[in-house]
C-alpha cells in the first residue's frame, strides 16, 4: 500500500476581494461563495453551519471527538486535490470551500449507496423511521436506487446490549458515536468496534453490558435505528410525537429536556441542548422520570374524610374539599393556637408553587412554620447527576419558604408525634412513605391536608387530599444548583381533576383572605420577579428556552 | 558490468545475522565515523544529498521527511521502524531482518541520531517469528557491544530500541495505524493532518521509516552521499533496490539491483524467465498488489519511481508479481479483493463497504453469474472508493480493480458472455 505523501507547504492564498476582514483570532473564508468569519480552530463543517449551510454528516457530533469515518461531509476545497472531510479540516484564512459541486454531490451519492448496501432497509418496522439520518440523507443526497444485487452481510438483531438499550447490528453504520460517548463522556468504556471490513461490529466486552447511568444518550446520538431505547420500542411513530421543551425535575442539575408527547402521554424524554446546563446529555433516571406518571396510582379528584375522623376518604367537589381544608385549619388554630399549625413543602415544586405556598400558608393562613425536606442520594458524579435530588432547592431558598433543612422538618414532625402540632399541611411531599414519621404519629393530627399528584401513603392518610398536576402537566420555573432558572412546560392535560399546585394554594389562600388575581403561572412568576430581588427582570418569556441566571446576593 | 550487491552483501553467508560477522565485514564503521565526526544536522543533509527515497511504497524523499519535524524540542521525538511487511508479493524486509539485522540496526541508530531521537520502536509483523528472534538477538548484541543504550561508543548519545510485534493486521503497515497499534489500541488509521512528524506516537513528533530505507542509510553513512547518488538513475532515483520476484517465474526470490533496472531483465535474467515455455507473459504487477497492473505490452519499463509512474503504475514495494497467459484476470483480481476485504479495518464507509462489494461481484463473475453491467460497476465502485477514504488502503484496492478491468476488459466481458471462467480448467494458480 502506498504511504501517504507528507504535507506540502500550505499555499499562500490570494486575498480575494470577497473575503471579509478577520480579527487576530479569526479566519475568513468563502463557503459556496458566502463570506464567513470564524474563530481560529473552527472546522469547515462548523463554519458552514455558522453560515447557515448544512454539510451532511453521521459520525460528527459536537459533543464528541472527531472520528472522520462516515465520509459524508466530504467537500471540495480549492487547491486540495482530493475532497476533504469538513469535520476534521480546520477553516483557514482565504480558504475557498464548495459544498454543492457535481463532484461533492456524486460523492455523497456514493457514500449513501455504500451505507445502504448492507443496511436491511427495514424502515417499516424500525423505530428510528422518521428521525433517521439514513432516510433523511438518502432523500436529500442519495440516488434513490441501489446497484447492489448481492446478499447483504448479516449480523445479530434485537440484541440486548444493555439494561435498556437494544442493538440491531445490521442497521449500524459504524459511525462510532456510541463508542466515543462511552469513552469520552460517560467514561465507562463499555463499547468498542470489533472485527474488520464489512464484518466490523459494535459490541461489548464479555460480562460488561452497556449499563451506565447515561446509556440512553447512545440511543439519542445513534443516527440510525441501530440502538433503540427499550421502553420506547414500538410505542409510537416519531412523527406523531410532539416535543415540548422543558426542564428535568430529577435533581438539582435541571437538565434541559424535550418531553415527547402523543395521546396525552409522555412517551420519551430526550436531552435538549443547553450548553450552560447539560450540553447534549441527560441521565437515564431523567429519561425515565415520566414513568411514575403512569405507574403510580393517581389522585383523580379531591377527597375528604366523610366525618371529622375515622371514616374512609370520599370524593368531594373541589370547593367542598377546599372549604373543608380551610375549616379544619381554622378549627385547629382556634382550639390550640396558631402554633399548632405547620406545613411541609417540597423543593420539587416550582418557584410559582413555592411562592404561593408562602403567600397562602404562611401569610394568609398564618401557619408559622414551613419545613422543606432535603432529598439526598449518593454523590455528585463527574457529569450531570447531583446528590441533591430536589430540582428547586435554590428556588425554595430564594422565593419560597426557605432552603431544604432536615432539622426543621424533623422538629415539625416530632411536634406532630408529640401532639404539639395538631394540623399539618403537606405539599408535594410524602413524609409517611419516606419514613420520616409513622402512621400512628400522623394519625394523632386533627387535620392533615395533603396536596400531591398521586395517592401517596401520606395522601391516603389525609383528612383532605387535593390532587395536583404531575410532572409535565403544569408550567413553572425551577432554579438549579448553579442558579439558572428554567421553565418546566405543560406537555399534557392534567390528569382527571388535578390542578396546578399554585392554583390549589391560591384557592386555599383565598379562604384566608389572600388577595391577588394570580390568573396564570406566568402572572405568579411576575409577582416573584417584582418582589424577590434575585428574580428581578425575569419573566417566563425572558427565560426562553435556555433559562437565565438569577441574581444571588 | 556485474553488479556488486550492497544491501545483500552479507545475506546468505553463514552466520551473517551475528554481530561478529557484521563487524568482521566492516560493520558499524559508518556509525563510528558519524558519531565521531558528524552532527545530526550534517547527517540529515547527507541523507538529503544522497537522494534516498523511502522504500516502503510511496517513495518520499527520506531526508525531506525528516525535515518535517518541528524545530522545537519540548517533546521527545520517536523513530518507528515499519517492519510490518504485509503487502502481497513483498518479502524483502523479512530477508534483511533475518539475514543481516545489523545492517538494518546500524541504519536505525544512524537515523535516530540524525533526528535526535532517544527511543526507537521496531514494529515487526507478528508472523515473522524467525525475524523477531533474530532481530531481538541482534538488539541484545548491540546493547552488549555499546551500539545501543547509554553513551553509544562514548559519544554521549543515548538510544533505546523497543521491539514490538504486531498482531496480524495488514493495515498496521499504514503508518498511523501502526502508531495506534504501538500505543496498544486497535490498528485504525488516523485522520491526517496532523501528520506523524508533528503529532505521532503518544502525541509526539515521530518519523516512520521502512526497514530497507534504513539499511540504505547505513550505506550512505559508510561511503557518503556523493557515492550513493551515483547508483541507479540519478538524480531522482538513486541507490540500490531489493526486488521481490514472484508468480510465474522459474526462480522467485529477492534480487538486488540498482533503481532503474529494466523489468524484463529482472524477469528474464535474474528470475530465470517464465515458469512454462508454452505460456507467454500476460501481465506484471510491478510494485506489490496495491499497484496498477501492466500488460505484457507495457513491461518494457525501467524499475524506478518515476519510470513506473510514467508507465501508469508505481514502484510501490517493488514486489514484481509475474502472471503468464494461464492466469485468469477475474480470478486474480478476486483473489486480491478477498485479501483487501479481509484486511479492511472497517473504519470508514467507502473501504468497509466497497471491499466486500468487489468480492461479491467478482465471485459472481467467476461463477458464471455475471451481468453485463457488472464490468462497469466494478470500475465505478472503485472510482468512488478512491480518494474518499481515511488512509491509502482505498487506493490499494481501487487501483488494482480499475487497472485489471480496464486492461483486461475483454476478459471480464467474456466471463459474462460465456457464463464462467474460460481459463478455469487451465489456471496454474488456485
Contact B344 A115 (CB under 8 A): no
Position A21 scores a pLDDT of 75
Do B173 and B257 have their domain in common? no
Question: What's the CATH number where B107 sits?
Answer: 3.40.50.11540
Position B176 scores a pLDDT of 98
pLDDT band at residue A314 using 50, 70 and 90 as cut-offs: confident
What is the DSSP track for B53-110?
Answer: B-SSSS--BHHHHHTTS-S--SS--EEEEEE---STT--HHHHHHHH-HHHHHHHHHH
Determine the Cα angle at A457 with ends A446 and A353, to 5°: 80
Closest CA to B201 of B177, B168, B173, B165: B177
Backbone angles phi, psi at A351, to 5 degrees: -55, -40
Q: Return the residue matching grid coordinates 451481468.
A: B371
Contact B346 A198 (CB under 8 A): yes
Biggest CA pair distance of chain B? 73
pLDDT higher than 90, residue A22 = no
Q: Is residue B151 less than 8 Å (CB to CB) from chain A?
A: no
A151-295 to CATH, choices 3.40.50.2300, 3.30.70.20, 3.20.20.370, 3.40.50.300: 3.30.70.20
Provide CATH 3.40.50.740 ranges for chain A: 303-549
Task: Tell whether B1 is covered by a domain.
Answer: no
Nearest CA in chain A to B69: A6
Name residues whose C-beta falls within 8 Å of residue B26's C-beta, 6 or more positions apart in sequence. Answer: B222
Nearest CA in chain A to B319: A1
Residue A535: strand, helix, or coil: helix
What is the rounded distance in angstroms from the CA atom of residue A112 to the CA atom of residue A105?
A: 11
Alpha helices (H) along B82-240: 92-99, 101-114, 129-144, 175-182, 211-223, 225-228
A89 in Cβ contact with A78 (< 8 Å): no
Do B250 and B216 have their domain in common? no
Q: Is residue A73 less than 8 Å (CB to CB) from chain B?
A: no
Chain B residues lying within 8 Å of A43, measured CB to CB: none
A123 in Cβ contact with A129 (< 8 Å): yes
Helices B211-223/B92-99 angle, 10° precision: 60
Q: Is residue B166 less than 8 Å (CB to CB) from chain A?
A: no
What is the rounded distance in angstroms from the CA atom of residue A253 to the CA atom of residue A479?
A: 9
pLDDT in tens, A365-380: 999 999 999 999 999 9
Residue B234: strand, helix, or coil: coil
A426 in Cβ contact with A343 (< 8 Å): yes
What is the rounded distance in angstroms from the CA atom of residue A485 to the CA atom of residue B298?
A: 76
Contact A118 B353 (CB under 8 A): yes
Q: Is residue B65 less than 8 Å (CB to CB) from chain A?
A: yes
Interface of B with A in 396-415 (CB under 8 A): 396
Q: What is the DSSP letter of A101?
A: S
Closest CA to B219 of B306, B100, B131, B316: B100
Q: Which three cell numbers stand for residue B395?
A: 487506493
Position B430 scores a pLDDT of 39
Chain B residues lying within 8 Å of A200, measured CB to CB: 345-347, 352
Do B180 and B276 have their domain in common? no
What is the rounded distance in angstroms from the CA atom of residue A256 to the CA atom of residue A185?
A: 17
Using CB atoms, pick whichever of A1, A3, A70 lies closest to residue B60: A3
Q: Is residue A3 less than 8 Å (CB to CB) from chain B?
A: yes
Do B197 and B336 have their domain in common? no
The mean pLDDT of A213-237, rounded to a whole number, is 97
Residue B161: strand, helix, or coil: strand
Final residue of a domain: which of B229, B257, B276?
A: B229
Task: Tell whether B288 is covered by a domain.
Answer: yes
Q: Report the topology of domain A26-100.
A: Ubiquitin-like (UB roll) (3.10.20)
Do B298 and B370 have their domain in common? no
Contact B57 A2 (CB under 8 A): yes
pLDDT in tens, B137-154: 999 999 999 999 999 999
The mean pLDDT of A163-183, rounded to a whole number, is 98
Interface test with B, best of A197, A202, A205, A224 (most B CBs within 10 A): A197
Provide CATH 3.10.20.740 ranges for chain A: 26-100
Do B188 and B268 have their domain in common? no
Q: Return the residue matching grid coordinates 475532497.
A: A83
Nearest CA in chain B to A107: B384
Contact B396 A69 (CB under 8 A): no
Question: What's the CATH number where B359 sits?
Answer: 1.20.1440.230
Name residues whose C-beta falls within 8 Å of residue B402's C-beta, 6 or more positions apart in sequence. Answer: B292, B379, B382, B383, B386
Do B35 and B110 have their domain in common? yes
Residue A198: strand, helix, or coil: helix
Q: Which three cell numbers stand for residue B424?
A: 478455469
Range of the domain at B164: 19-229
Position B98 scores a pLDDT of 98
pLDDT in tens, B56-106: 999 999 999 999 999 999 999 999 999 999 999 999 999 999 999 999 999
pLDDT in tens, A379-429: 999 999 999 999 999 999 999 899 999 999 999 999 999 999 999 999 999
Residue A102: strand, helix, or coil: helix
Determine the Cα angle at A467 with ends A464 and A469, to 5°: 155
What is the rounded distance in angstroms from the CA atom of residue B383 to the CA atom of residue B360?
A: 17
Chain A residues lying within 8 Å of B384, measured CB to CB: 107, 110, 113-114
A117 in Cβ contact with B357 (< 8 Å): yes
Chain A residues lying within 8 Å of B87, measured CB to CB: 1
Do B172 and B32 have their domain in common? yes
Do B197 and B91 have their domain in common? yes
Position A543 scores a pLDDT of 97
Tell me, rounded to whole angstroms, the distance of Cα B176 from its chain centroid: 15
Chain B residues lying within 8 Å of A82, measured CB to CB: 387-388
Distances (CA, A) of B304 to A420, A515, B235, B239: 102, 97, 12, 10
Q: Is residue B286 less than 8 Å (CB to CB) from chain A?
A: no
What is the rounded distance in angstroms from the CA atom of residue B243 to the CA atom of residue B230?
A: 19
Position A313 scores a pLDDT of 83
Contact B347 A6 (CB under 8 A): no
Low-confidence ranges of chain B (pLDDT < 50): 428-430
Using CB atoms, pick whichever of B291, B347, B350 lies closest to residue A114: B350
Final residue of a domain: which of B175, B196, B229?
A: B229
Do B128 and B220 have their domain in common? yes
Task: Tell whether B294 is covered by a domain.
Answer: yes
Closest CA to B57 of B402, B399, B302, B392: B392
Q: State the Rg of chain A over Cα.
A: 29
pLDDT in tens, A523-553: 999 999 999 999 999 999 999 999 999 998 6
Using CB atoms, pick whichever of B68, B87, B349 lies closest to residue A6: B68
Can the peptide bond before residue B235 be classed as cis, meaning omega within 30 degrees of 0? yes
Closest CA to A107 of A121, A91, A86, A122: A86
Position A243 scores a pLDDT of 97
Q: Is residue B68 less than 8 Å (CB to CB) from chain A?
A: yes
Question: Would strands A476-479 and A96-98 be described as parallel, antiparallel, or unpaired?
Answer: unpaired
What is the rounded distance in angstroms from the CA atom of residue A488 to the CA atom of residue A390?
A: 14
Task: Tell whether B426 is covered by a domain.
Answer: no
Chain B residues lying within 8 Å of A133, measured CB to CB: none
Using CB atoms, pick whichever of B64, B193, B384 lies closest to residue A110: B384
Look at chain B and report how many structural domains it folds into: 3
The backbone region for B156, taken as left when phi is positive above 0, alpha when psi lies in -120 to 50, beta otherwise, is left
Task: Tell whether B61 is covered by a domain.
Answer: yes
Q: Is ipTM over 0.90?
A: yes
Contact B346 A149 (CB under 8 A): no
Contact B356 A193 (CB under 8 A): no
Do B210 and B62 have their domain in common? yes
Chain B residues lying within 8 Å of A111, measured CB to CB: 349-350, 388
Q: What is the DSSP letter of A239?
A: G
Contact B290 A1 (CB under 8 A): yes
Using CB atoms, pick whichever of B291, B388, B392 lies closest to residue A71: B388
Q: What is the DSSP letter of A306?
A: S
Position B265 scores a pLDDT of 97
For A303-549, CATH gives 3.40.50.740
- Partners of A194 in the β-ladder: A201
A165 in Cβ contact with A227 (< 8 Å): yes
Using CB atoms, pick whichever of A110, A149, A193 lies closest to residue B346: A193
What's the 3-state SS for A275-288?
Answer: CCCCECCCCHHHHC
Task: Tell whether B428 is covered by a domain.
Answer: no
pLDDT higher than 90, residue A444 = yes
Final residue of a domain: which of B324, B341, B369?
A: B324
Distances (CA, A) of B213 to B19, B61, B88, B216, B315: 20, 10, 19, 5, 14
Contact B352 A6 (CB under 8 A): no
Contact B346 A199 (CB under 8 A): yes
B177 in Cβ contact with B393 (< 8 Å): no
Position A5 scores a pLDDT of 53
Task: Tell whether B4 is covered by a domain.
Answer: no
What is the rounded distance in angstroms from the CA atom of residue B370 to the CA atom of residue B229?
A: 52
Determine the Cα angle at B292 with ends B286 and B294, to 5°: 60
What is the rounded distance in angstroms from the CA atom of residue A392 to the CA atom of residue A516?
A: 24
Q: Is residue A205 less than 8 Å (CB to CB) from chain B?
A: no
Contact A3 B175 (CB under 8 A): yes
How buried is residue B132: exposed, middle or buried, by Cβ count under 10 Å (0-12/13-18/19+)?
Answer: buried
Interface of A with B in 134-163 (CB under 8 A): 147-151, 153
What is the rounded distance in angstroms from the CA atom of residue A500 to the CA atom of residue A492?
A: 12
In this structure, how many other beta carbons lie within 10 angstroms of the beta carbon of residue A482?
Answer: 13
Do B93 and B197 have their domain in common? yes
Question: Would strands B240-247 and B319-324 be described as parallel, antiparallel, or unpaired?
Answer: parallel
Contact B341 A197 (CB under 8 A): yes
Q: Is residue B387 less than 8 Å (CB to CB) from chain A?
A: yes
Nearest CA in chain A to B347: A69
How buried is residue A460: exposed, middle or buried, by Cβ count under 10 Å (0-12/13-18/19+)?
Answer: middle
Task: Tell whether B95 is covered by a domain.
Answer: yes
Amino acid at each position: 500500500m502506498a504511504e501517504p505523501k507528507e504535507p506540502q507547504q500550505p499555499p499562500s492564498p490570494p486575498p480575494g476581494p470577497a473575503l471579509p476582514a478577520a480579527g487576530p483570532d479569526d479566519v475568513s473564508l468563502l463557503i459556496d461563495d458566502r463570506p464567513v468569519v470564524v474563530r481560529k480552530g473552527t472546522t469547515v463543517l462548523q463554519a458552514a453551519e455558522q453560515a447557515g449551510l448544512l454539510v451532511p454528516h453521521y459520525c460528527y457530533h459536537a459533543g464528541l471527538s472527531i472520528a472522520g469515518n462516515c465520509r459524508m461531509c466530504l467537500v471540495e476545497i480549492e487547491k486540495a486535490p482530493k475532497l476533504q472531510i469538513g469535520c476534521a479540516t480546520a477553516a483557514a484564512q482565504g480558504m475557498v470551500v464548495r459544498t454543492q459541486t457535481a463532484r461533492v454531490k456524486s460523492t455523497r451519492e456514493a457514500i449513501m449507496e455504500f451505507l445502504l448496501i448492507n443496511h436491511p432497509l427495514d424502515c417499516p418496522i424500525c423505530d428510528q423511521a422518521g428521525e433517521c439520518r439514513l432516510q433523511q440523507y438518502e432523500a436529500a443526497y442519495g440516488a434513490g436506487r441501489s446497484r447492489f444485487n448481492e446478499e447483504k452481510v448479516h449480523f445479530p438483531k434485537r440484541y440486548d446490549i444493555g439494561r435498556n438499550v437494544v442493538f440491531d447490528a445490521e442497521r449500524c453504520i459504524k459511525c462510532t458515536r456510541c463508542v466515543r460517548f462511552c469513552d469520552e463522556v460517560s467514561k465507562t468504556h463499555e463499547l468498542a468496534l470489533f472485527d474488520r471490513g464489512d464484518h466490523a461490529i459494535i459490541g461489548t466486552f464479555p460480562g460488561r453490558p452497556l449499563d451506565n447511568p447515561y446509556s440512553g444518550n447512545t440511543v439519542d446520538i445513534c443516527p440510525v435505528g441501530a440502538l433503540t431505547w427499550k421502553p420506547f420500542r414500538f410505542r409510537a411513530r416519531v412523527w406523531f410525537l410532539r416535543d415540548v421543551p422543558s426542564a428535568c425535575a430529577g435533581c438539582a442539575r435541571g437538565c434541559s429536556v424535550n418531553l415527547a408527547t402523543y395521546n396525552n402521554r409522555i412517551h420519551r424524554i430526550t436531552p435538549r441542548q443547553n450548553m450552560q446546563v447539560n450540553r447534549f446529555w441527560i441521565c437515564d433516571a431523567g429519561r425515565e422520570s415520566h414513568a411514575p406518571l403512569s405507574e403510580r396510582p393517581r389522585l383523580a379528584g379531591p377527597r375528604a374524610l366523610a366525618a371529622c375522623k375515622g371514616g374512609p376518604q370520599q370524593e368531594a367537589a373541589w370547593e367542598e374539599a377546599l372549604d373543608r381544608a380551610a375549616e379544619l385549619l381554622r378549627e385547629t388554630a382556634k382550639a390550640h393556637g396558631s402554633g399548632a399549625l405547620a406545613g411541609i413543602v417540597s423543593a420539587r415544586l416550582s418557584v410559582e408553587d413555592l411562592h404561593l405556598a408562602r403567600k397562602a400558608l404562611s401569610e394568609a393562613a398564618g401557619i408559622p412554620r414551613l419545613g422543606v425536606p432535603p432529598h439526598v442520594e449518593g454523590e455528585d458524579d463527574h457529569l450531570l447527576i447531583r446528590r441533591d435530588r430536589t430540582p428547586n432547592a435554590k428556588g425554595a431558598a430564594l422565593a419560597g419558604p426557605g432552603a431544604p433543612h432536615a432539622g426543621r422538618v424533623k422538629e415539625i414532625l416530632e411536634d406532630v408525634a408529640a401532639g404539639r402540632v395538631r394540623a399539618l399541611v403537606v405539599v408535594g411531599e410524602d413524609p409517611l412513605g419516606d419514613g420520616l414519621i409513622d402512621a400512628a404519629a400522623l394519625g394523632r393530627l386533627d387535620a392533615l391536608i395533603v396536596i400531591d399528584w398521586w395517592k401517596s401513603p401520606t395522601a391516603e392518610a389525609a383528612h383532605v387530599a387535593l390532587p395536583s398536576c404531575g410532572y409535565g402537566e403544569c408550567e413553572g420555573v425551577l432554579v438549579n444548583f448553579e442558579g439558572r432558572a428554567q421553565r418546566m412546560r405543560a406537555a399534557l392535560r392534567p390528569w382527571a381533576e388535578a390542578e396546578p399546585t399554585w392554583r390549589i394554594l391560591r384557592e386555599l389562600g383565598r379562604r384566608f383572605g389572600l388577595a391577588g388575581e394570580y390568573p396564570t403561572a406566568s402572572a405568579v412568576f411576575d409577582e416573584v420577579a417584582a418582589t424577590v430581588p434575585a428574580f428581578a427582570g425575569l419573566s417566563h418569556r425572558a427565560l426562553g428556552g435556555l433559562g437565565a441566571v438569577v441574581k444571588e446576593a | 558490468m556485474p553488479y556488486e550487491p550492497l544491501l545483500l552483501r552479507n545475506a546468505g553467508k553463514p552466520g551473517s545475522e551475528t554481530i561478529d560477522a557484521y563487524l568482521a565485514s566492516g560493520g558499524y564503521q559508518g556509525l563510528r565515523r558519524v558519531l565521531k565526526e558528524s552532527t545530526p544536522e550534517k547527517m540529515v543533509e547527507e541523507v538529503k544529498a544522497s537522494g534516498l527515497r523511502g522504500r516502503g511504497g510511496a517513495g518520499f524523499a527520506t531526508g525531506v521527511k525528516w525535515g518535517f519535524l518541528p524545530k522545537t524540542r519540548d517533546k521527545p521525538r520517536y523513530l518507528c521502524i515499519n517492519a510490518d511487511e504485509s503487502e502481497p508479493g513483498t518479502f524483502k524486509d523479512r530477508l534483511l531482518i533475518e539475514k543481516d539485522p545489523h545492517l538494518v540496526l546500524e541504519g536505525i541508530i544512524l537515523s535516530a541520531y540524525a533526528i535526535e531521537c532517544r527511543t526507537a520502536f521496531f514494529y515487526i509483523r507478528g508472523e515473522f517469528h524467525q525475524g523477531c528472534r533474530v532481530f531481538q538477538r541482534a538488539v541484545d548484541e548491540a546493547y552488549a557491544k555499546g551500539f545501543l543504550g547509554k553513551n553509544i561508543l562514548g559519544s554521549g548519545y543515548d538510544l533505546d530500541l523497543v521491539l514490538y510485534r504486531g498482531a496480524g493486521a495488514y493495515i498496521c503497515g499504514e503508518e498511523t495505524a501502526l502508531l495506534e497499534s504501538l500505543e496498544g489500541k486497535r490498528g485504525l488509521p488516523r485522520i491526517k493532518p496532523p501528520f506523524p512528524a508533528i503529532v505521532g506516537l503518544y502525541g509526539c513528533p515521530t518519523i516512520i521509516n521502512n526497514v530497507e530505507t534504513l539499511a540504505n542509510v547505513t550505506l550512505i553513512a559508510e561511503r557518503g552521499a556523493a557515492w550513493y547518488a551515483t547508483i541507479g538513475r540519478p538524480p531522482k532515483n538513486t541507490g540500490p533496490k531489493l526486488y521481490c520476484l514472484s508468480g510465474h517465474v522459474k526462480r522467485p526470490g529477492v534480487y538486488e539491483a540498482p533503481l532503474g533496472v529494466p523489468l524484463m531483465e529482472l524477469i528474464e535474467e535474474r528470475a530465470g524467465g517464465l515458469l512454462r515455455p508454452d505460456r507467454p507473459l500476460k501481465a506484471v504487477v510491478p510494485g506489490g498488489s496495491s499497484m496498477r497492473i501492466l500488460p505484457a505490452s507495457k513491461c518494457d519499463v525501467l524499475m524506478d519511481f518515476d519510470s513506473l509512474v510514467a508507465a501508469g503504475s508505481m514502484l510501490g514495494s517493488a514486489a514484481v508479481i509475474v502472471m503468464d497467459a494461464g492466469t485468469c484476470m477475474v480470478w486474480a483480481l478476486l483473489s486480491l479483493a478477498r485479501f483487501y476485504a479481509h484486511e479492511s479495518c472497517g473504519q470508514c464507509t467507502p473501504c468497509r463497504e466497497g471491499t466486500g462489494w468487489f468480492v461479491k461481484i467478482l465471485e459472481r463473475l467467476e461463477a458464471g453469474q455475471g451481468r453485463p453491467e457488472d464490468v462497469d460497476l466494478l470500475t465505478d465502485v472503485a472510482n468512488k472508493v478512491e480518494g474518499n477514504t481515511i488512509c491509502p488502503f482505498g487506493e490499494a484496492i481501487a487501483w488494482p480493480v480499475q487497472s485489471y478491468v480496464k486492461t483486461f476488459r475483454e476478459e471480464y466481458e467474456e466471463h459474462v458472455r460465456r457464463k464462467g471462467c474460460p481459463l478455469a480448467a487451465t489456471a496454474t494458480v488456485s
